[in-house]
Amino acid sequence: MSARSRRRARSRILAAFSIALAAAAVAAPGAEAVGGPVLYVDGSSASCTDGGTGTQAAPFCTIGAAAAVVAAGQTVQVAAGVYRESVTVRSSGTSSAPIVFAAAPGATVTVTGGAHGFAVSGRSWVAINGFDITATSGHGLDVSSGSSHVILSGNHVSQSGQPSSGLTAYGIRLSGVTDSVVSGNTVDHNSDSGIAVVGSSARIQVLGNKSFANARQFQRAAAGIRLAGSTDGVVAGNVVHDNEDSGIESYPGTSSTLIEDNVSYRNGDHGIDNLGATNQRILANTVYGNVTAGINVEGSSTGATVENNISVDNGIGSPRTHSDIRIERGSTAGTIVDSNLVWLTTQDTLYIWDSVGYSTLAAFQAASGQGTHEIWADPKLADAGASDFHLTASSPAIDSADSGVSGQPATDADGNPRVDIPDVPNTGLGPTPYVDRGAFELQAASPPPDAPPAARLSVSPSSGTAPLAVTADASASTDTDATPIASYRFDFGDGTVVGPQASATATHTYAGAGTFTVTVAVADTAGNSSTAQATLTVSASGGGGGTNLVGNPGFETDLTGWNTSGSDAGIALARVSGGHSGSWAAQLSNTTTGPSTCLLNDSPNWVKLTAAGTYTASLWARADAAGATLKLRLREYAGSTLVGSATAQATLSTSWQQVTVSYQVGAPGASSLDVNAYVSKAAPGVCFYVDDTSVANG
């Protein structure tokens, strides 16, 4: 059977069951009698009875009772619970009306303690889906004796048999079975191979299963997946690891199997083993860290095709006959080895051909005439130690496989398509020269999602007296994707809105006093938008409208009346040339090596006894570098009790700007006012400069 025919057959089998499985997932509540579409099983229901008809109101207590009466076209839906029984399927479905056994949607259904979880003998068109089968004395799922068109899917099978001679059992066994599918199961910790296809079975598809930690324990014999006497099968997309014997093994009587897109690692013998199995195609698998050989072909396994695989670090230091790829004497006739990637992190035997070992690719090529397109290089796997065998962007396996080899899969083990990585040369063979080697295809990086602009806003000046003209500037906003900034809308917080407009700036004059929040909305060409805000304070008149109560407002003579009380240690106050007006200004510096609070404090307070009314404090400030936030604060104290406070802030720039704060006295005649300006967590160096300070009432 050709690869294309196998895929068509697999599709037909899966399609035949899709309707029935869907029916199990959304089981109709109206089934009221045997012969209806759904038979219900619920062993925990007080109204269950094995003598009834399996309605929702009176479900069967056991799965076996439903199995005894189920007919073609019916689904046995099983509610959550533990069912201590062995279920024998007694009837067959048809191609248009299969029989389905399924766990109820979202339910955990455990079948345990019997000879089998389910046994299907001589039956056809049956599906078993979604069960947890454990601790059986025999094979967990057992299909045999001429059964055909059976699907075993989505089950978890564990603890089958006993690790003792004569008592071992497979997790899933198909013996003498045709045209069936084992798909999406997890099979682990069984006393023999996880999945076994034996006894003259034909056209069995073993797809997308996980099989691990299966072991007889008393002798090395349990594989992840075992084929013996199986013909024309497909073993694809499985992950097999940490099994006692090989990951996937094909034994005498097996022939014409397509083994593709599998991942096999850390198994106790070979990654993929072929003994007396002819005409096998072993394609696009990733095998890693197995004890003996990564891919083994021996025992007259003639006519094998071993291509497009990645085989890494297999058999290192093993006492057995080991290598990444091994073709023994008697199996070389008609066998092709090409377009694989091999690698050993420790020097050892890389290839065996005709029972002779070779430690280099060149030596293997010269002796065998094989491997013209082999690659010997680190495959640059994502994290093999953590069992992640996906390719990274620097892998030499990318865009280098032979897509023309018979049976090469169109998708990878994840179901992803074959894609061309633009910046990697296409060195592969066949009609699609950009297929990757191994089980996984590197996918092209997806473009980042369209993001809104990053809005930024500054307002200058950030404080002053009314009428105050300001400029709102959003020109620092950015949008680096394919949809650039299209418009800006400014809301000045007093009812005035400008835009949307193309310009990143807008001007506005505030007529009255207050603290205002300016908001800009920045939109891109796709309609995505974001906002940014800035605040400013407008006072009724410069300095408060009355007499300036600050005795040393401009530092023209000295620093009298000012100190750094309230600062962190290491803050220095100095008088420097170059003020806002006049010749001098105050400078605060952080002399430490880390961030510190720099605070300029009036001491003693300029307002020692308050009067009724609103006080307004104002100063002009700048910095050597823009970005820090300066806060101007008025605090009213009655003795040591804080009566109230007010704070205004501004983002410092290298230009002088006015900062103003107003405060209405709460305890006139009984309190004082403390004035300070500060920057929190200022970097080492100059914190800020201050000039033209004022405090006034009125």
Mind listing the pLDDT tens digit for each residue in 460-495? 998 887 667 899 999 999 999 889 999 999 999 988
CATH 2.60.40.10 holds for 458-533? yes
CB of 463 closer than 8 Å to CB of 539: yes
**pLDDT on residue 495:** 84
User: Coil, strand or helix: which one is 332?
Assistant: coil
Tell me, what's the pLDDT at 162? 98
- Give whole-number Cα distances, 102 to 23, 33, 43, 66, in Å: 10, 18, 15, 12
The average pLDDT across 516-534 equals 95
Say what the pTM is. 0.66
Taking the domains of the chain in order of start, what are their residue ranges? 1-193, 458-533, 542-697
Confidence of residue 34 (pLDDT cuts 50, 70, 90): low
Question: Taking 90 as the threshold, does the pLDDT of residue 27 lie above it?
Answer: no
- The pLDDT confidence band at residue 549, using thresholds 50, 70 and 90, is confident
432 has pLDDT over 70: yes
**What distance in Å separates the CA atoms of residue 169 and residue 160, rounded to the nearest whole number?**
6
CATH class of 542-697: mainly beta
SS3 assignment, position 385: helix
Q: Which of 9-13, 115-119, 267-271, 575-579 has the weakest average pLDDT?
A: 9-13
- Per residue, the 3-state secondary structure of 268-300, as one string, reads CCCCEEEECCECCEEECCEEECCCCEEEEEECC
Using pLDDT thresholds of 50, 70 and 90, give the confidence band for residue 544. Answer: very low
Tokens of 336: 């092709």
Give residue 277's pLDDT.
Answer: 98
- Does residue 177 have a pLDDT over 70? yes
> Quick check: 697 and 606 in contact, CB under 8 A?
no
Most confident of 309-323, 459-473, 504-518: 309-323
Residue 380 has pLDDT above 70, yes or no: yes
14 DSSP 8-state letter:
H
pLDDT at 467: 64
Q: For the segment 166-176, what is each residue's pLDDT rounded down to a tens digit?
A: 999 999 999 99
Which of 76, 98, 71 shows the shortest CA–CA distance to 13? 98
> What is d(CA 66, CA 153) in angstroms, rounded to the nearest whole number?
20
pLDDT at position 540: 56
Instruction: Look at residue 464 in the predicted model and tell me its pLDDT.
Output: 80
Residue 599 has pLDDT above 60, yes or no: yes
Burial, 527: exposed, middle or buried (Cβ in 10 Å; 0-12, 13-18, 19+)? exposed
**Tens digits of per-residue pLDDT, 394-413?**
999 999 999 999 999 999 99
CA distances for 690 relative to 460, 544, 587, angstroms:
18, 18, 7
CB-based contact 259:237 (threshold 8 Å): no
**3-state DSSP assignment of residue 585:** strand
- In sequence order, what are the residues at sequence separation of 6 or more whose Cβ sits closer than 8 angstroms to the Cβ of residue 179? 9, 13, 148, 149, 202, 203, 204
Q: pLDDT band at residue 31, thresholds of 50, 70 and 90?
A: very low
Residue 420 has pLDDT above 60, yes or no: yes
- Beta carbons of 420 and 399 less than 8 angstroms apart: yes
Asked whether residue 13 carries a pLDDT value surpassing 60, the answer given is no
Residue 543 has a pLDDT of 34
Across the range 662-684, mean pLDDT stands at: 94
How do 505-510 and 186-188 pair as beta strands?
A: unpaired
Q: What integer pLDDT is reported at residue 11 of this predicted model? A: 45
DSSP-assigned beta bridge partners for residue 537: 463, 515
pLDDT score for 580 = 87
Q: What is the pLDDT of residues 241-291, one digit of tens each?
A: 999 999 999 999 999 999 999 999 999 999 999 999 999 999 999 999 999
Please state which of the ranges 26-30, 449-453, 473-477, 681-685 shows the lowest mean pLDDT: 26-30
Phi/psi of residue 365, nearest 5 degrees? -60, -45
pLDDT of residue 469: 84
Does the structure show a pLDDT above 60 at 329? yes
pLDDT at 314 over 50: yes
Any idea which residue has 């039956």 for tokens?
123
More confident residue, 414 or 536: 414
Percentage of the chain modeled with pLDDT above 70: 93
User: Which residues, in sequence order, are CB contacts of 445 under 8 Å at separation 6+?
Assistant: none
